[in-house]
Amino acid sequence: MTSPVGLDRFWAVVPAGGAGTRLWPVSRADSPKFLHDLTGSGRTLIQATVDRLRELAGDRVLVVTGGAHADAVREQVGDLPRDLLLTEPSPRESMAAIGLAAAVLERREPEAIIGSFAADHVIGDQEAFSKAVVEAVEVAAKGDRLVTIGIEPTYPATGFGYIQMGPRLPGHRSARRVRQFVEKPNARRAASYLATGEFRWNAGMFVVRATTLLDLLARWHPDLAAGLREIAADPSLLADRWDGLEKIAIDHAVAEPAADEGLVAVVPGGFDWDDVGDFKSLSGLLPPGEGGMTVVGDPDQVRTIDAGGLVVSGSGRLVAVVGLDDVVIVETDDALLVTSRERAQDVKLVVQALTAEGRTDLV
Amino acid sequence: MTSPVGLDRFWAVVPAGGAGTRLWPVSRADSPKFLHDLTGSGRTLIQATVDRLRELAGDRVLVVTGGAHADAVREQVGDLPRDLLLTEPSPRESMAAIGLAAAVLERREPEAIIGSFAADHVIGDQEAFSKAVVEAVEVAAKGDRLVTIGIEPTYPATGFGYIQMGPRLPGHRSARRVRQFVEKPNARRAASYLATGEFRWNAGMFVVRATTLLDLLARWHPDLAAGLREIAADPSLLADRWDGLEKIAIDHAVAEPAADEGLVAVVPGGFDWDDVGDFKSLSGLLPPGEGGMTVVGDPDQVRTIDAGGLVVSGSGRLVAVVGLDDVVIVETDDALLVTSRERAQDVKLVVQALTAEGRTDLV
């Protein structure tokens, strides 16, 4: 059996950024979401992500993260050579982070195909994930397309963008053209998307030849593409040039305009995926414990009487909950959050309030 | 103007017992309710009680408490001579505690009139309180009666016993005979009590000549009365005899049978009174803070967004509450309670569960 097309030049890129403010107080500026084992699996989100990618790419995994988090990433991931950990001086959104990785890799291997996978998402089924990525790499290799992986929606989510699928791409197992990317919809629109059966969640996973990505970027954002290639050629320029780069997400910078020209493909992903955006989402990922209370942490430290929801127990204290359903309690050594699953999105307002007050010690 | 009758031989007795399990985790076995400043007033409950009584009785204040709490009481109250702090080897309910104080005081001063006032109640109006006590002392002195102070009910409470008042006692400002003591009623019965206008809350405050109390007790519980008098005569007997004494509340031991014989009077108390039985009760005692959230502790450590209820903040952590009304959050160094005002009574179930598991470190 021939080995899958393109896999021998496949590199996994892991952008490890994002503040995770809806997961405060677990997620902090100096210890963001991806550094935490939110699901109690024994591996942090970034460790699980890299584990999953090493199954496909071996040691061809490159991480991009903020300078402040580089040491923690190096310590958690292990076996990450210095040249495969790129540090951003400041957050500039996903295009610069992924683009820098692409620029570095194309110099190393001109035919490199990169796959970008967020450090802080949870994926359930390794086999189905690998299958989808392998097909995406094939599509990227054979047709030199930008390929995304589209998740089968399980409910009319309003928190993700969607991908509208087009006709089948001949010569591939399940890949289709992308008709268009659409923004996060309201509830009514999301329901209509699901009803058509043509829409999938955009999980932000892109597979594309490194050079193709940068060449596409150069069409619509020439300064950004040039800037990234210059930095890759002369890393000493990073500190000076980085903050001058355009701040934009890869979706807006490349995927959307490329889709408009029919250049993007989608591989349907038949696996569970969650971006763990907030505590409600986290709560849905985990099995409920006794009495309907999900516990992340030591269940022996939690006592519930007629209560349900989520307790993230991080300080060693005993947590007793009486008579509240849908409660979310997240306790750490220096901060306690009490809210409901329904209001989980609003946790970011706490971070905003504390930030406005200058409480950098807490955020 | 003559000085109030009996006040020169009045002694205030403060039984400082009670586990306060509905106020866990503030109240613990080794640090019960009365040792805490629950209302943030700057004085603990027992300090405030003794302050209030010293206004009337000067240094003629005697405290009865468990051996485990004696040091803390001595430290908090200050100026309490050794002979005015009686320690119970074990809790035997209120009759033994108050009776021991009476037995000790009658030996010191045969005409002593005692007034018993719980260490852990909150009283709003010093002047009205003093007025009621002064009248109660007069009634006890002149007619040698057992006198109780009956609180004007402000709502149909089901958590207190009630006193049904009888006709006026001639020669006194407001005192009445007690027709009967009744048990804690259900809601319907409580409402009917209030409708008659004849019922008052039993706050457990009794004023009576020490010897009269013990002589009454001897009629219905001769062994208990004799045992208490023997211990008062020879304190070395305390350790051996205490656990053998009958365990019974003063209400059942003396007040109820005495009322049946027409021997009890009640002075209506026109002052705010609260037994601070649980966090709902505590929450009602305090003014709500910003946004409807009452905070005991440092308000600067509490952030609320669309939330109301009570936060007792005791560990120095930041507490953020989002989108919950009626929530009760009580956090200490080693334990956190999250419940609602509505379920405040059930906090004792947590203590029961922890006790059953042998978690004596936490209760």
What's the rounded Cα separation, in Å, for the pair B269 and A296?
52
Residue-level pLDDT at A177? 97
> Distance (Å) from the C-alpha of residue A26 to the closest C-alpha of chain B?
13
Beta partners for B163? Answer: B181, B200
Q: Which two tokens stand for residue B356?
A: 């059953």
Q: Which two tokens stand for residue B314?
A: 């005791």
What's the rounded Cα separation, in Å, for the pair A113 and A106?
9
Which chain A residue has the Cα nearest residue B303? A350
User: Chains A and B: how many Cβ contacts under 8 Å?
Assistant: 122
Phi, psi dihedrals of residue B221, rounded to the nearest 5° = -140, 70
Q: Which two tokens stand for residue B296?
A: 């005991």
pLDDT band at residue B190, thresholds of 50, 70 and 90?
very high
Q: Which two tokens stand for residue B346?
A: 């059930």
Q: What is the pLDDT of residues B239-276, one digit of tens each?
A: 999 999 999 999 999 999 999 999 999 999 989 999 99
Reference A175, options A99, A268, A261, A245; nearest CA is A268
What's the rounded Cα separation, in Å, for the pair A134 and A149?
11
Residue-level pLDDT at A2? 63
* A299-327: average pLDDT: 94
Which chain B residue has the Cα nearest residue A337? B320
How many Cα neighbours within 13 Å face the side chain of B162?
A: 26
Q: Smallest Cβ distance to A349: which of B305, B324, B329?
A: B305
Q: What percent of chain B has pLDDT over 70?
A: 99
Q: How far is CA A60 from CA A13, A54, A111, A114, A266, in A?
A: 9, 7, 14, 10, 23
> Is the CB of A343 less than 8 angstroms away from the CB of B306?
yes
Residue-level pLDDT at A119? 97
Residue-level pLDDT at A3? 76
The answer on pLDDT for A289 being more than 90 is no
The answer on pLDDT for A227 being more than 60 is yes
ipTM of the complex: 0.87
Residue-level pLDDT at A353? 95
What's the rounded Cα separation, in Å, for the pair A28 and A72?
13
Which residues on A lie below 8 Å from B324 (Cβ)? 324, 327, 338-340, 343
Q: What percent of chain A has pLDDT over 70?
A: 99
Tell me the one-letter amino acid at B288. Answer: P
Q: What is the pLDDT of residues B100-142, one digit of tens each?
A: 999 999 999 999 999 999 999 999 899 999 999 999 999 999 9
The answer on pLDDT for A125 being more than 70 is yes
The answer on pLDDT for A1 being more than 60 is no
> Distance (Å) from the C-alpha of residue A340 to the closest C-alpha of chain B?
7
Which residues on B lie below 8 Å from A339 (Cβ)? 320-324
Taking phi first (over 0 means left), then psi (-120 to 50 degrees means alpha), and beta for anything else, what does residue A267 get?
beta
Q: Smallest Cβ distance to B317: which of A321, A336, A343?
A: A336
Its pTM stands at: 0.88
Q: What is the pLDDT of residues B73-110, one digit of tens each?
A: 999 998 899 999 999 999 999 999 999 999 999 999 99
Q: Smallest Cβ distance to A322: which of B332, B333, B347?
A: B347
> Between vectors from CA B75 to CA B74 and to CA B77, what angle results, nearest 5°?
65
What's the rounded Cα separation, in Å, for the pair A321 and A311?
9
Q: Which two tokens stand for residue B311?
A: 């936060």
Integer distance in angstroms from the first to the last C-alpha of chain B? 53
pLDDT band at residue B2, thresholds of 50, 70 and 90?
low
Residue-level pLDDT at B44? 96
> Between vectors from CA B285 to CA B184 and to CA B348, what angle results, nearest 5°?
50
Which chain A residue has the Cα nearest residue B322? A339
